[in-house]
Chains A and B, each alone.
Chain A
Amino acid sequence: MSLFIVMIKEIVDNLRDRQTVFYALLFGPILLPLLLGGSLVASFKQLSIDFDEVTTLSVQHAQRAPRLMEFLHSQNIDVIDAPEDVQNSVRRGDVLAVLEIPEDFAEQLRQGRPAPLTLHVNSADKESSKAARRVQAILSVYERTLNNLRLQHRGIDPTIFDSLNLVENDVSSDGSNGQLLASILPFLFIMSMVMGGFYLAIDTTAGERERQSLEPLLSLPLKRSAVVFGKYGATLCFVTLSCLLTAISIYTLFHLFPVELMGGQIRFDGRTLVRAFLLASPLLPFISALLITVSAVTRSTKEAQTYLGLMMMFPMAPFFLLQFLSVKSTTLTMPIPMLSQYQLLESAVLGDSIPLMHIALSATGTLAAAGLLLMLASRLYQREGLLD
């Protein structure tokens, strides 16, 4: 009972604190996703290639390859004449890319030899590279058609060369970002949890010591554990609320600006987010316990902010670790709080199936760690040194 009185008082008290409310309800859940997600949406609008869209391509000496021009046209590309000074206009960005057809193109083709083509591109310019990639993709389709014709001409079944049917997974563009992308969700979730409870945890423990309101509080007829768990409950409420709001704002963001991430492999739809939230939920009690325990050791809010500031490395550590080292999801990594949630949430975002064993191990490991931390926190509150 007294536990709930403490909890409600701390919530009401902290809702009146602008800083706490800003970080818990605005920074973590809204500003951070907007910043990261927003730049993501923007960059992917830029990187993705829309093959149905009609675009133009400058071609120099188009008349030397009428068949190719027809093919380009059938692929939704409008051929226009190239400018005078091809090199410089590509460099300046006047045109994105120029396809040059050399004089001997038709001749070489007729003789069944490799026909030369030059593509002028400015690889320093994203837009230019993107245009070039599109042209290359279309030309390779054309090349294949030509090859087939040549082989058939010589009485060879072209499919005997198709010993492999390779489906390209373009790692150069958005492919390599796949993992980064997928780990943005756990990053935002964990960040919002930490930010959500950060100031409340400090205010209710170190802040209370600093204000010297702990002494009269502890002389009241209630158990010290009720005080600790009340404060813990208040932190848990803020942490949960902050994470929930984050899920909602990510959903809203990707709902308003749908982008095709990794060919639709990465999704931030409602189902994924609910799944991710549930997978991350054992972290709610864990992070709350971590915040309360660390700030219970400290004497002043300043000290608490320093310690907890250092602790903010924790949510980032798996983020960077997983970027550079590929740590496989195994039964060994699963009981580790934070790391396992990173891996599970990545899988969730990528739409992979997750073994039930992994979910169980992750939840058990994280909740056990939370329990241990809470025990430590209530031990810390039994200390006499608490009143110094």
Chain B
Amino acid sequence: MTIHTGRGFACINYPIGMNLGGDPSQALVHSTPDGKFMVTLSAIDLGQGMKSVCRQIAAEALGVPIEDVYVDTADSDTGPHDMGSFASRGTHRMGNAVIRASSEARAQMMEAAAEELEVSAADLDTDGRGNIQVKGAPSKMITVADTAIAAQFKQGRTLSGRGIFLIEPSGVDWDTGEMSPVTTYAHAALVIDLTVDDETGEVEVKHINSAYEVGRALNPKLVEQQLIGGAWMGVSHALYETTEPYYPARDHLPQDFNTYLMPGPGETVPHDIAVLERPAADAPYGGKGPGEMCANPVLPAIANAVYNAVGVRVDKLPITPEKILRGLQANGGAKPGPRQPGTPQ
């Protein structure tokens, strides 16, 4: 029995959203009478942090403290239309819609404040702490709360905004097959170090090193959280998970969580992450978001590392001990590939 080390690499050019059909998202923003703002969306937060990021974006575009912004994703019947939370589109699509809706609401807010202060709205600015001031004369000011109260009860004005993000739907050029399926791309490169036991076929992933380019990381801790959890899921997809282990035969189907394999808290892999920030021009404050890309590159990198370790090319997921052992048998034993400089021995 020999334990073989292997290193595998994968990189990814990852589409954010889909141009087909224009991929629209809408947002509505309105003030409450006490000077807070409600952002209404129909896309939901799956745990990736879409609500937190949209809250940050709205606060920034409105010019008010983040504590004064709420995001409501309660109901797609009563909220504005959205294509949904998928295709790694959340930050980019909803964020852009939220900026537009918030900018319109901000303009209303500045008009209402201007009327109260008897100045021109163009001379006003927000301080981000809940006040609206005359530029160059900050002592002449009104709070956002008083502005909202005046708008609601005195001026008869709503502080609200509508936003939609829709891109030019991209059709196919039937002669060339050419089309432009996405507006922007995120990127990642990932290196896996693992070992393969040539007697049992067992794979142990030892280390993940990754670099992700996600535009601006609008919430760096949420980005890191998503990358850590996503890589875990990538390892799980690569080595364990399947609902049809012997497809098309229906043998050994997992029936429940007991028989559906996933790595547990004792089988996590150390993961060093570098996040590169290259703000994208068409993205909200430059943020594209990691999305599904957090799991994807792990799978080919593991397949490549297994090939590097023992020379077995597994092209069906998951890469189980059985498939590795059959490959070793077909090849007449382990055929380790070239060692990369720095590969652990």
User: Is A bound to B?
Assistant: no
- Write the residues of chain A forming the contact surface with B, with a CB cutoff of 8 angstroms: none
Interface residues of B (CB under 8 A from A): none
